[in-house]
Chains A and B, each alone.
Chain A
Amino acid sequence: MDLFLMTIATGIMVGGIYALVALGWVLIYKCSGVLNLAMGEMTLIGAYTSLSFYSMGVPFLLALAISLVIGFILGILTERIFLDKLIGEPVLTVIMVTVGLSFFFKGTIGFIWGTDTRVFNPPVFSMEPVRFGPIVVGSVYLWSFIAAMILLVIFVCFFKYTRWGLAMQATADDEMAALSIGVSARFVYAAAWSIAFMASGVGGTLLGNINGLNISVGYLGLLVLPAVVLGGLNSVPGAIVGGITIGILQNLCGTYLDRYFPGGVKEIAPFVFMTIFLLFKPHGLWGWERIERV
């Protein structure tokens, strides 16, 4: 029973990070309709930037802040240079441009930072595990989860109460109507990309604190896809629930199914779930079902 509870707890904690990255993904999709496959590499860029600054001796929070600023700038640049020209193009074109971007980013990251695993040294979070009754959780996980949750709250508030957030929601809802009341759609797209860059950067930094950072952490960007499919492509709460659910499912499979199917069950399980889910409920829990007209 303890094992079960602990698995669930770890799943929730890791799921929090997935949720954060998934949120960035949903944000881009909601505002500009771009299905982004470069999320993993965006995560890596943020994570490597903060790690580099941290290794230079910059305090952790400051390093994170710098990586956020860089993520912001990169987000605007990406949108302006590549995605801006593709508004209104068919879905495959836009997806493949993000695939191209992901290769471009990955190649650049690999060229700059190499393939070795790097760790945050000295460790940011203490190695001492935290106990809640029978459940023992690594403090890194706990802090990551807390940070992810704080950011989620910030995002939700941003969307509900600030002017920019409202403008973004308006554009997502109906671009034409938003344009006619004076919202700059180009501004909104740029903002969506830079916020997504920042969110995934934070997610990556937290994940890098758990097991160190190497280029395969970008795999996270693919794990986001099952999460958003589960929650529905254009639903912010869906991203959070989806992320946490995928985290839990993944850890449950890792704990219980590994015996029967040795090897990489943990890596593959989210995709199996995703395929099954797609067969039965392709629009996710809270996604909009689009009615097609010929």
Chain B
Amino acid sequence: MSTTFLPCGVYHQTYAQDHAWWQTPFIKAKMLALALILFVVIPMFADMYWISVCNQIGYTILGALGVQLLIGFCGQLTLGHAAFIAVGAYTSTLLILEFPWPTFMIDWGIAYPVSILVAAVVSGLWSVLFGLPSARVKGFYLILSTMAAQFITVDFIITQYVSQIGGRGQAFSLPPGTIKMGPWVIDSDVKVYYMILFFIIVCVTVMANLLRSRVGRAWVAIRDNDISAEVMGINVLKYKLLAYFVAGFIAGIAGACWISNLAAISPEHFPWFWSLWLVGVILIGGIGSIHGAIFGALFMVLVMEILQMIVMPLSDIYPKLLMDFLFIKEATFGLAICVFLIFEPNGLAYRWWQIKNYFNLWPFSY
């Protein structure tokens, strides 16, 4: 997907201008309006239910960003991303619960931010470990090895061993008040919303900047053709592993953020389904753009909520519908992926790009 066309009369004189993020006053105003909506309008006017839907969307965006980086920008297919999110979530939880924090750190609320950072790094390293097969295999074989990552990490290591730490049994519950960001105790959905929003902005900024740097260009070269990339002098393995690290890092942040929204975490929160879901999200949103991850997350979560709204009234007549809602959700998800891949393989981001161009070039769109 090439860049968006600019309106008539806007042209660049330097390379820096060409790569600037917000190139016209209109775009700046648009982004400001978006920030206003995200930071002020939604928390003020949305009720509890919609805030929690927003949190769900935010979590999906954070998870999908890493997948987008791996699949969309580096061409490394992955079907085990939930494993890295799980590693992040568990590292953060264990640090909060088990690590002997000095009292002043807990009082100042440094424990949780530090644990997020540590979780992100651990998750990134774990991701690099399972990215090692990418040195030798690609395509379908890589899918298999990332799948193995999912089963080994979540179904075996976390379920059998990590869950036993501290003798809590299956689920780790986080006592209220332990999750503290500086002076704020993260105890309501609105606070979780702000926190996730903050991390999304940080992650998107970092990722977008990486993508327009040397690293990002190397990734895209590897995606387009890894052999040519190697011939051009790119250290393919190094950049592949770097992609795995960054993707795992973002996944770790996603997992560590999400624990603030959960009363207790258990391996069931990170099933293989969730890995596939994230891949589905970027397929529907569009592969190879950050917009794709965001649109895909919005679309999938909202469609599922709408589906629930349709099913709820019907369940009075036919109660089986509500009981088996999970299955309806799965079937819809599967069908949505199939339909998008067959009829709109470029995803929602491509439509968005077309719409933008249409208005930018209007009325002379040739």
User: How many residues of chain B get a CB closer than 8 Å to chain A's CBs?
Assistant: 48
Contacts of B93 in A (CB 8 A): none
Q: Give A103 to B160 CA distance when docked, in angstroms.
A: 27
Select A100's contact among B144, B320, B337, beta carbons within 8 Å: B337
Q: Give A145 to B112 CA distance when docked, in angstroms.
A: 55
Judge if A279 is at the interface, Cβ distance under 8 Å. yes
Q: Give A229 to B140 CA distance when docked, in angstroms.
A: 10
- Segment with Cβ contacts to A, from B29-37, B51-59, B238-246, B325-333: B325-333
Contacts of A225 in B (CB 8 A): 144, 147
Judge if A105 is at the interface, Cβ distance under 8 Å. yes
Select B345's contact among A89, A103, A104, A279, beta carbons within 8 Å: A89
28 contacts between A and B (CB under 8 A): A35-B143, A82-B338, A85-B342, A86-B341, A91-B139, A92-B287, A97-B341, A97-B342, A100-B334, A101-B338, A103-B331, A103-B333, A106-B327, A106-B330, A106-B331, A107-B334, A108-B331, A109-B327, A110-B330, A111-B324, A225-B147, A229-B144, A267-B151, A271-B147, A271-B151, A274-B148, A275-B133, A282-B137
Q: Give A103 to B330 CA distance when docked, in angstroms.
A: 5
Q: How far is the CB of B84 from chain A (nearest CB, A)?
A: 16
Judge if B211 is at the interface, Cβ distance under 8 Å. no
- Segment with Cβ contacts to B, from A1-9, A44-52, A53-61, A256-264: A256-264
Given A96-B279, A107-B332, A261-B160, the answer on whether A271 and B338 have CB atoms closer than 8 Å is no
Contacts of B324 in A (CB 8 A): 110-111, 114
173-193 of chain A: CB within 8 A of chain B: none
Q: Give A102 to B137 CA distance when docked, in angstroms.
A: 25
Binding site for A on B (CB under 8 A): 71, 77, 79, 132-133, 136-137, 139-141, 143-145, 147-148, 151-152, 155-156, 159-160, 225, 227-228, 231, 276, 279-280, 283, 287, 320, 324, 326-338, 341-342, 345
Q: How far is the CB of A292 from chain B (nearest CB, A)?
A: 7
Given A271-B147, A279-B136, A282-B136, the answer on whether A264 and B155 have CB atoms closer than 8 Å is yes
Contacts of A92 in B (CB 8 A): 71, 77, 287
Q: Give A102 to B277 CA distance when docked, in angstroms.
A: 12
Contacts of A86 in B (CB 8 A): 341-342
Evaluate contact between A96 and B341: CB separation under 8 angstroms.
yes
Interface of A is mostly: helix
In addition to A111-B320, A263-B156, A271-B147, 12 A-B residue pairs with Cβ atoms within 8 Å of each other are A91-B140, A92-B77, A92-B287, A100-B337, A105-B334, A107-B329, A110-B324, A110-B330, A114-B324, A225-B147, A263-B159, A294-B227
Q: Give A111 to B324 CA distance when docked, in angstroms.
A: 6
Select B225's contact among A95, A274, A294, beta carbons within 8 Å: A294
| Chain A residue, CB-CB nearest to B142 | A278
Judge if A272 is at the interface, Cβ distance under 8 Å. yes
Evaluate contact between A102 and B279: CB separation under 8 angstroms.
no
Judge if A222 is at the interface, Cβ distance under 8 Å. yes
Judge if A157 is at the interface, Cβ distance under 8 Å. no
Evaluate contact between B331 and A111: CB separation under 8 angstroms.
yes
Q: How far is the CB of A290 from chain B (nearest CB, A)?
A: 10
Contacts of B143 in A (CB 8 A): 35, 95
| Chain B residue, CB-CB nearest to A293 | B227
Given A263-B160, A271-B151, the answer on whether A103 and B342 have CB atoms closer than 8 Å is no
Most buried by B among A101, A109, A282: A282
64-101 of chain A: CB within 8 A of chain B: 82, 85-86, 89, 91-93, 95-97, 99-101
Select A279's contact among B133, B147, B225, beta carbons within 8 Å: B133
Contacts of B341 in A (CB 8 A): 86, 89, 93, 96-97, 100
